[in-house]
């Protein structure tokens, strides 16, 4: 399954890297790509292994807001 989330607060490449890295560590996340300009994070995941809520929580734990 693929989803795209709007994330606020990413200001630099460290931020996109932190979001991508945190998501990549989660079981069930196959691919995560954050776009600094748009604030969009695209996530490929296996919904039998991880919920969308858990994905959002993972991003928020890095200090960003998911809209």
Task: Report the nearest approach of its own copies to the CB of residue 56 (Å).
Answer: 20
Q: Based on CB atoms, which residue is closest to its own copies, 4 or 13?
A: 13
Beta carbons within 10 angstroms of residue 39's beta carbon: 18
Residues contributing to the site for its own copies (CB under 8 A): 11-15, 18, 63
Sign of CA dihedral 39, 14, 3, 5: negative
Q: Based on CB atoms, which residue is closest to its own copies, 1 or 24?
A: 24
Task: Report the nearest approach of its own copies to the CB of residue 8 (Å).
Answer: 13
Quote the CA–CA distance of 56 and 9 in Å, as a whole number. 14
């Amino acid at each position: 399954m693929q989803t795209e989330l709007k994330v606020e607060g990413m200001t630099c490449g460290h931020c996109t890297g932190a979001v991508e890295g945190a998501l990549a560590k989660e079981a069930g996340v196959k691919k995560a790509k954050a776009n600094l300009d748009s604030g969009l994070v695209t996530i490929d995941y296996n919904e039998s292994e991880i919920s969308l809520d858990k994905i959002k929580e993972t991003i928020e734990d890095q200090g960003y807001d998911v809209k």
